[in-house]
Amino acid sequence: MLNDVAFGQYYPVNSAVHRLDPRTKLIWLIAYIVALFLANNFYSLAVCALLLVVAIAASKLPFASVLRSIKGILFILLFTAVLNLLFYGGETVLVEWNFIKISVEGIIFTVFLAFRLTFLVMGSTILTLTTTPVSLTDGIESLLTPLKFIKFPVHELALIMSIALRFIPTLIDETNRIISAQKARGADFESGNILKRVKAVVPILIPLLISAFRRAEELGDAMDARCYSNAKNRTKYKKLTFKLGDLVAVILVAALIAGVVLLNIYGANIIPEIYNYIKIS
Amino acid sequence: MSTNAITLKNVKYSYSQSEDAPALNGVSLSVEKGEFVAVLGHNGSGKSTLARLINGLLTADEGEITVLGLNVSDKKNIAEVRRRAGIVFQNPDNQMVASIVEDDVAFGPENVGVEREEIGRRINWALKSVGMEEFKNSTPSRLSGGQKQRVAIAGVLAIKPDIIILDESTAMLDPKGRAEVISVVKKLNEEEGITVLLITHFMEEALFADRAIVLNKGEVVLQGTPEEIFKNGDALETYNLALPKITEIENGLREAGLTVSNALNYQTLARDIADNLKGKTWGNCKNTPQYNQGGEWDVDISNLTFTYSAKSPFATHALNGVDLKIKEGEFFGVIGHTGSGKSTLIQHLNALIKLPQAQKKYKAKKVKKGQTPPTMPQITVGNYNLSNKKCDFKSLRADVGMVFQYPEYQLFAETVFEDVAFGLKNFFPKMGEEEVITAVKESLEMVGLNYEEIKDKSPFDLSGGQKRRVAIAGVIVTKPKILVLDEPAAGLDPLGKKEIMELLHKLHKTWCKTVVIVSHDMDEIADNCTSCAVISNGKIVFADTPEKVFANGEKLIELGLDIPLAAKLLIELKKYGVEIDCNLSCKGFTKSVINAYKGGGNNA
C-alpha cells in the first residue's frame, strides 16, 4: 500500500548539479524564484526558461521526470488560470457577460502566470531530485546558522528534521505491518461509506501512535546515553565545502537576475510594435 | 583510584510509590576494570533497571553507585559517567538518529565536542572494530538487526568509553545477529580492554563472560563463573531461567549414568559420548518417521512467484517458483533468514497478498496459437481456491489465523475484551452478544489468562508476556483451522518462550488442525515441528521432516543458516564411528544416547 512512497524522490545519478553544495542549490532556488517574480515580460521569462533547460541538462535528469512534477499542481494551475481568464478585467475586451470579462490582457496574464508557476515547480523539483534529504537538511542548517544570534534553535531544528527523515522508512514498514495484521483479523479498509472507512483507520492509527511514542521515549534515552545535551561545545563532523562548480552556479543565477532586470527595463525597445502583447502590467 | 569499574552498594529503586515490589531491592555488586560480566535474569528481574541506574538515566532511591570512582548520584558527574560508560539498548531501530551510518556514529563524538578530523578517525576505527567499515555510507533501514546493533556499538565506541553496557542488546536479534554482536563485544573486551556488562536472558551468551551475576526479583541470587552458575540447574529454573541446551543434555546423560565432563562445547561432549559408547553394541537405532496422511485442510502451493514493485527499477523477486505442501495435522516450521521470502510466503496463505488471477483488475493475457500459456501460481487451502476471484477471502481469513511478529504492537482497543472481539465482529457481524462473550472468554482462557480479571483492563496496562497472549487470543478467537505465526517467541525470555510453545501445542491438539511457525531458531524447529521447509532466495531448498532436513547440515550452513545442537552432535559423533538415528530435539537426542548406552534400540 505504502511501498510506492518515494520520499524526497532523490534521483541517483552523478552529475555536476548533484555534486553542488546543497547551500548553493538552496540559494540558487531562492534567487531563481525572485527572478521569476521580477520578470514582467516574456523576454525575461524566456531567459528564466533557458536557465532551467541548462540546469536540467547539467543535472542529467530525464526531462520527463522533471516535467512530471507539474502533475501535482495541475489542479491549482488550471483553477487559477480559469479565474484569471474570467476575472482579470483589462481594456481590450473580447467577451463580456454579466461580471465575466475576457480580455487580451487577461489572456496574456493567464499564460504568463501559468509559465511562472510551472517554472517555479520545475526549479524546486530539480533541487529535490538532485539533493538527498540528508544533505538538504545540512544545507538548511548551515544557511540558518546566522539566526543563532537571535537565539533561534537552528541545531535543534536540523536534528528534528534529521530524525524525522531517519524514521520515515521505519514507520512506513510499521504501518504496513499493522495494516496486514488488522486485515488478517478481518478488518476491511476498502468498502463502506466514508464514516465506516474513517472508523476503520482507528485500529491502525492507535497502535502506530503508541509505537511512535515508545520509539520517541527510547530514542530520547539513547540520545541521553550518548551524551546529548544542549551544551555549546558541540562540534560538527559534516562540513560543507564551496567548490568551483558552486561559484559557476552562483554567477549564472546572478547573471539571470541581472538579465531579467535589464530586459524588464529595455524590453520595450527591442520590437516596440509587439511589446504590448508580451508584457504584463 | 580503585580498580573497580562499577560498584553498587545496597542499591534500591522503585518505579512507583505503590505497594509493588521494588525493581531493585538492595543490590550490591562490583565489576573490575577489563572484566566481562554477564547479568542474567528473566523479564522483570530488574536487570534493565540496573543499566539505567549505572548510566544515570535513573537515580537510585537508596544506596551508592560509583562508576570509575565517580559517584553517579552527583549530578555534576553524570556527563562524565555517560562519556565513560556507554549503553547499547535493546531495539536497534530506536537508537539511531541519522539516516547514514557514518553520521550516526559521529553523533556521540559531536556531542562531547571532539575535533572534526578526530571524529573522522574515530568513525573509521569504530566501524572497523565492529566489522562494519564497508557500510559507512549505508542507510540503517537497509541493514539487518545484527548489523544495526553493531553500528550502535560503534556509535558508543566512538565516544571512547571505558565501559560498555549492553542492555538486552541481543534480545530482538536472530541467532546469527546475536552471534555477531557477542563476538564483537568479546573482541573489544580482549583487544581494547573495554569493561563489558552484558545484560541478557540468553544463558548461552553468559558462556563468553568471565563472571555471571543472576538477578531475581531485584536481588542478586547467584554469582560466579559461568560453569559454577550452570551447576545450579534447579535453582536457575526457580529464577525462570533455562540452562543452555548443551548443559541440559549433559545433565540428562549424567543422570542415566554416563560419564561426561562439564564442557560447554559440543565437540567435547561428542567425544565424551563416543567414549561412553565404546564397546557397547546397540540394536537397530533406526527411527521410523511418521508421515502425516493429510486431510480436508491440506495446503497446496504450486509455482508461486512474487515480485515487489514489479515493473519499476526497484523490483525484487521475493518468491521464485515455490512448490510446497503442508498436510493437515502438521506442526510445520518455515526456516529462512531475513529477506529469504518467508514472510511473503506466509502472507499468501490467507490472501493478505492475493494471487494475480484473484485480483480485481486482472485480465488473462491472450495466448497466440502454438504458444503455451504461462503457468500461473496456484494455492489451495482446504476447499478454498485462492486463484479464484470469487473465493470467499473473508471466511478464508477466519479459517487461516495469522499472528505477526511482535503481535502485541497491534493491540488498539480500550479493553482487552474489545480487542479480542475485534476479529470476531469483523468476520461474523451478526453474531449475538452471548456468543461473542463465550468465544472471547474461551479464547482468553485458552491462552492462559483469567477472563474475569483481565477483560476490562486496558491492553496497554498489561505486562509484555500478557500483551502477547491477548494478541494471540485476538487471532484464535475465530477458532481457525490453520494457525500461522511469524516468530511467535521473538524477544521473549526462556520461560516466556517455553510457555508460548506449550500454548501452541495445546492449540494444535484442540482448536487448530495445523500450526505453521516461522522461526530462525533451529532448536525451536527441531524441538517442536513434525515437518519443516527451508526457504532461501525465494525458493524452497528442503521440505521434509526435521531429521531429513537437518541431515543436510553442510548445505544449510552454506546458506547462512544454523543447525540444531543435536544435529551438530550427530555429525561430530559420526567422526568417532557412532551413528545414532534420532529425533533432533534435545530430549530425543538424550533419550536415544541413553538407550544406546543401555544397549537397547531407540525409538525416541
Q: Residue with C-alpha cell 475465530?
A: B478
Residue B533, φ and ψ in degrees, nearest 5: -130, 140
A269: in domain: yes
A10: in domain: no
- Predicted confidence at residue A31, as pLDDT, reads 92
Instruction: Please spell the DSSP secondary structure of B355-394, one letter per residue.
Output: -GGGSTT--PPP--TTPPPPPPPEEEETTEETT-TTS-HH
- Predicted confidence at residue A33, as pLDDT, reads 92
A12: in domain: no
Tell me which of B110, B149, B153, B425 to substitute to probe the interface with A (most A C-beta atoms closer than 10 Å).
B110
B140: closest CA of chain A, how far (Å): 8
Nearest Cβ partner for B426 among A186, A210, A229: A186
What percent of chain B has a predicted confidence (pLDDT) above 90? Answer: 14
Run of H or E residues at B67: strand B62-67
| Chain B residue at shortest CA distance from A166 | B99
B503: closest CA of chain A, how far (Å): 20
> What does the longest C-alpha to C-alpha distance in chain B come to?
89
Touching check for A155 and chain B: CB below 8 Å?
no
Tell me which of B75, B111, B395 to substitute to probe the interface with A (most A C-beta atoms closer than 10 Å).
B111
* For residue A193, pLDDT beyond 70: yes
Tell me which of A235, A239, A240, A241 to substitute to probe the interface with B (most B C-beta atoms closer than 10 Å).
A235
d(CA B158, CA B305): 44
- The residue-averaged pLDDT of B388-415 equals 87
Touching check for A221 and chain B: CB below 8 Å?
yes
d(CA A153, CA B31): 41
Nearest Cβ partner for A203 among B123, B402, B412: B412
Whether the pTM exceeds 0.90: the reply is no
- The residue-averaged pLDDT of B434-438 equals 90
A46: in domain: yes
Cβ-Cβ contacts under 8 Å, B83 against chain A: 227
| Count of domains for chain A | 1
Run of H or E residues at B325: strand B316-326
- Predicted confidence at residue B547, as pLDDT, reads 80
Inter-chain CB proximity B103 and A226 less than 8 Å: no
- Residue A172 lies in domain: 22-229+238-278
Cβ-Cβ contacts under 8 Å, A230 against chain B: none
pLDDT in tens, B191-205: 888 999 999 888 888
- The residue-averaged pLDDT of B89-111 equals 90
- Predicted confidence at residue A1, as pLDDT, reads 37
Run of H or E residues at B574: helix B565-575
Nearest Cβ partner for B97 among A202, A223, A235: A223
- The residue-averaged pLDDT of B417-438 equals 89
- Predicted confidence at residue A34, as pLDDT, reads 92
Inter-chain CB proximity B475 and A188 less than 8 Å: no
- Predicted confidence at residue B119, as pLDDT, reads 92
A33: in domain: yes
- Predicted confidence at residue B279, as pLDDT, reads 67
Inter-chain CB proximity A227 and B82 less than 8 Å: yes
Which residues lie across from B514 on neighbouring strands?
B482
- Predicted confidence at residue B232, as pLDDT, reads 78
Residue B7, φ and ψ in degrees, nearest 5: -130, 130
The least confident of A98-112, B331-345, B356-370, B568-582 is: B356-370
- Predicted confidence at residue A7, as pLDDT, reads 40
ipTM score: 0.84
Inter-chain CB proximity A225 and B55 less than 8 Å: yes
* For residue B163, pLDDT beyond 50: yes
- Is residue A5 very low, low, confident or very high in pLDDT (cuts 50, 70, 90)? very low
Q: Which residues 178-197 on chain A approach chain B with CB closer than 8 angstroms?
A: 178, 180-188
pLDDT in tens, A108-138: 889 999 999 999 999 988 888 888 888 888 8
pLDDT in tens, B479-505: 998 999 998 988 888 888 888 999 999
Q: Residue with C-alpha cell 503457468?
A: B375
Helix (H, G, I), strand (E, B) or coil at B87: strand
Q: Rounded to whole angstroms, what are the CA distances from A84 to A81, A96, A97, A115? A: 5, 14, 15, 14
A14: in domain: no
DSSP conformational letter for B307: E
Instruction: Identify which of A187-191, A219-223, B218-222 has the greatest average pLDDT.
Output: A219-223
Inter-chain CB proximity A234 and B110 less than 8 Å: yes
C-alpha cell at B26: 538492595
A110: in domain: yes
- Predicted confidence at residue B292, as pLDDT, reads 60
- Predicted confidence at residue B503, as pLDDT, reads 92
Instruction: Please spell the DSSP secondary structure of B245-295, one letter per residue.
Output: HHHHHHHHHHHTT-------SHHHHHHHHHHHHTT----------------
List all residues 6 or more positions away from A175 whose beta carbon is below 8 Å from its beta carbon: A2, A204, A208
A8: in domain: no
- Is residue B297 very low, low, confident or very high in pLDDT (cuts 50, 70, 90)? confident
- Predicted confidence at residue A4, as pLDDT, reads 39
pLDDT in tens, B246-257: 887 888 888 777
Inter-chain CB proximity A187 and B93 less than 8 Å: no
Run of H or E residues at B322: strand B316-326
Q: Fill in the amino acid letter for B463.
A: S
Touching check for A241 and chain B: CB below 8 Å?
no
* For residue B323, pLDDT beyond 90: no
Q: How many CB atoms lie within 10 A of CB B128?
A: 13
